[in-house]
Chain A
Amino acid sequence: MSAPPSGHSDPRVAFETAKLGLWTFLATEVLLFGALFTAYTVFRVKYPALFQSEHLKLNRVLGTLNTVVLITSSLTVALGVEAIRRGKARLLEKYYGVTVLLGAVFLCVKYIEWTEEFHHGLYPGTNIFFSLYFMMTGLHGIHVLLGMGVLSYVIVLSRRGRLSEAWYTPAELSGLYWHFVDLVWIYLLPLLYLIG
């Protein structure tokens, strides 16, 4: 993710430093989504009937499929980190490659879902439920895209031989970020697809 901080060539300290940085960053992400979850809570309390009727218009099959896809990708990313811990850079690249692919599958399914909804005349401005739905899944989708970029960057680093069992901080931190992105979806699924 970032270079070892200057003045600290000790990889141990550099790792600790980078890790604290990433956890702090994840805290800001929680707050970013937190505002949307707060809005969700406010409006769901205000309009329970609307949420009940509107959520039925979402495609639960695709939503569930995407959940499976993302959870699997969390597994592959974890296996990738485990691989580089044992110094197996090639294996890391494979696992991270699969993860990026799963991310792409997720976004394709999301694209199909959104297209379907647009065909049924459901837009971000349709009502408060769909405003929330499109904003939350959209913001999450952007994070998936960013995560794919970061994981690809780690693959490039590994190809160049920059990662080893002694220094694998970028792999570990990008994995952590990917888990966070998955975790957000785990909350989005029941809140949007499985009401009532």
Chain B
Amino acid sequence: MAEEIRSGRGYLAERGWRSWAYTMDHKRIGVMYLYTTIAFFFVGGIFALLLRLELLSPQAMYFSNHTYNVFFTLHGAMMIFLFVIPAIPSGLGNFFIPLHIGARDVAFPRINLASYWVFVAGFLVVIGSLVSPMDTGWTFYTPYSAKTGAAVTTLSLGIFLIGMSSILTGLNFIVTIHKLRAPGMTWHRMPLFIWGMYATSIIQVVATPVVGVTFLLLAMERIFGVAFFDPAKGGDPVLFQHFFWFYSHPVVYVMILPAMGIISEVIPVFSRKPIFGYNAIAYSSLAIAFLGFLVWGHHMFTSAMSPLANAIFSFMTFFVAVPTAVKVFNWIATLYKGSITFEAPMLYALTFIFLFAVGGLTGPFLGALATDVQLHDTYFVVAHFHYTMMGGTVMGFFAGLHYWFPKMTGKMLNEKVARVAWALVFIGFNVAFFTMFIAGVRGMPRRYAEYLPKFHVENVISTIGAAILAAGIAVMFWNFLQGLRKGTPAPGNPWRALTLEWKTPPVPITENFHEIPVVTDWPYGYGKVEGPPA
């Protein structure tokens, strides 16, 4: 401990691989998750660039159809299961939940470390499945996934392990938030990031077991021929879709809610104004988590469900838009008359609001029965999904990385380079994905290596956008590396923020606080001091 303080390196003072592999410090575990998930972000990104390269030409040019199928499956499966789902909760969440609530660590540090190594085991199995790579798309639909020669069984078991790690993390966070808050930190004094993470954890804990058992059944079908999803034996392939989406729809909120939490932290700090509608933002997180469980059927409008079920799922889907819009309106109200500054975290946070609004507003087209039947499985879906997940979650993640970089590393980033990277990301993203809306509406189906010549222009533009986006991300991470190596030392609280993590030394120590802080107020009293909501 003394060494940590003297060197100023805090929790990073101890060196050597053992100090990482056996660590029970939530901060180090969070950092390991960050490195791992970001590595998969790059791998998944390279697959995406290869897909865009192929789509430069209407005919298959570089890869066979099968190779193309493998690429989009791996792009989807890696991005979803190995990056977007774990990156914010297990990475930034692990690091900042205990700091935010004034705890020394998570409730079960050993389980926390176990969850990381289960995750590693999971991705090793996933990599092992590459001997005969998957070509089913990331959704694993039966009956094809039960019959294809690809290593579906191996990949299923890998994802089962990753799911287990996700459950352990969620469980840990729920208990941590319930039991380890600092004295005086009532539920309504918790930072909104914690509310977002709490809702996220509930979804992880409740939804993940179902997809676990689903992949188990799929593996059993391939090994022992159990009949659940096999129509020849009286099974039902649509049941697989129900099970799959019972997890995989709520899990998009596992992806987006933590990002929304980050935005709720960043916006008031860089507007120097108290967050507007604290209660509304906090409870809308829970509402999203709850409603998110009731809408999975909207992925299956064309899978021969009953018209009544379709209508109910469609109706419920519109409901999810309400708490989501509540958040957006509150963020905008927070900005209103604020003293806004445009540092990199704020740029990404504003980008989140803009892109997520586009992604969110194109959702109802897919939630409404009449238009969805037209747009189903077109590039419109791809564009919508990327606007919410990349434009939403990943931008939120970038906002969080820039916002918390000084706290995690003790170094400041080069702000000018960060802004250049942001501009490239913003332009590249919109060029790449907005054109997909247009191609989708004009009827271009997704998941094919070849397409009709009439979509050529859109695809060329989209590929150019993807290249700009990739350049932006490359600059951003180059900037991170430069910051790590020779960034100027960061002060303890560079953004003048009020949440507890900024009350620690520039690099927090193991067990976080010399003395557990006593909380007397909410963390959003920026500008003119206003009381917390009743």
Contacts and interface: CB of A to CB of B under 8 A. Distances in A.
A33 B220 CA distance: 16
Contacts of A123: 224-225
B220 A124 contact: yes
Contacts of B236: 42-43, 46
B460 interface: no
Interface residues of B, number: 44
Nearest to A20: B175
A7 interface: yes
Given A16-B179, A123-B224, A6 B208 contact: no
Interface in B195-245: 205-210, 212-214, 216-217, 220, 224-228, 233-236, 239, 243
A50 B24 CA distance: 53
10 contacts: A2-B111, A17-B175, A17-B179, A21-B111, A32-B209, A36-B213, A43-B236, A47-B234, A131-B227, A135-B228
Interface in A15-65: 16-17, 20-21, 24-25, 27-29, 31-36, 38-39, 42-43, 46-47, 50
Contact of A6 (B109, B174, B224, B227): B109
B206 A131 contact: no
A120 B248 CA distance: 39
Given A5-B180, A24-B205, A127-B234, A42 B213 contact: no
A125 B227 contact: yes
Interface in A120-169: 123-125, 127-128, 131-132, 134-135, 139
A131 B108 contact: no
| Most interface-central of A3, A31, A46 (chain B CB within 10 A) | A31
Interface of A: 2-3, 5-8, 13, 16-17, 20-21, 24-25, 27-29, 31-36, 38-39, 42-43, 46-47, 50, 123-125, 127-128, 131-132, 134-135, 139
B179 A13 contact: yes
Given A16-B179, A35-B213, A124 B205 contact: no
B226 A135 contact: yes
B226 A17 contact: no
A142 B228 CA distance: 20
B180 A20 contact: no
A127 B235 CA distance: 9
A20 B172 CA distance: 10
| Most interface-central of A24, A124, A127 (chain B CB within 10 A) | A24
Closest 3 CB pairs of A and B: A125-B225, A7-B104, A32-B209
Contacts of A128: 227-228, 233-235
A34 B179 contact: no
B458 interface: no
Q: Is the interface of B mostly helix, strand, loop or mixed?
A: helix
A31 B209 contact: yes
A3 B107 CA distance: 10
Nearest to A7: B104
Contacts of A20: 174-175, 178-179
B22 to A, nearest CB: 14
A134 B205 contact: no
A32 B212 contact: yes
A5 B178 CA distance: 13
A148 to B, nearest CB: 20
Contacts of A124: 220, 224-226
A67 to B, nearest CB: 24
A126 to B, nearest CB: 8
B167 interface: yes
A52 to B, nearest CB: 15
B416 interface: no
B135 interface: no
Given A32-B212, A35-B210, 18 more contacts: A6-B104, A7-B105, A8-B180, A21-B171, A24-B171, A27-B205, A32-B209, A35-B209, A38-B243, A39-B217, A42-B239, A47-B234, A123-B224, A123-B225, A124-B225, A124-B226, A134-B224, A139-B213
Given A21-B175, A47-B234, A125 B224 contact: yes
A105 B167 CA distance: 31
A7 B511 contact: yes
A27 B175 CA distance: 13
Contacts of A8: 180
B413 interface: no
Contacts of B225: 123-125
Interface in B334-349: none
A179 to B, nearest CB: 19
Contact of A29 (B209, B226, B227): B209
Interface in B171-188: 171-172, 174-175, 178-180
Contacts of A139: 213, 216
A3 B110 contact: yes
B104 to A, nearest CB: 3
Interface string B140-174: 00000000000000000000000000010001101
A25 B174 CA distance: 11
Interface in B99-117: 103-111
A28 B206 contact: yes
A128 B231 CA distance: 10
Contacts of B111: 2, 21
Contacts of B175: 17, 20-21, 24
B99 to A, nearest CB: 13
Contacts of A27: 205-206
B27 to A, nearest CB: 13
A128 B228 CA distance: 6
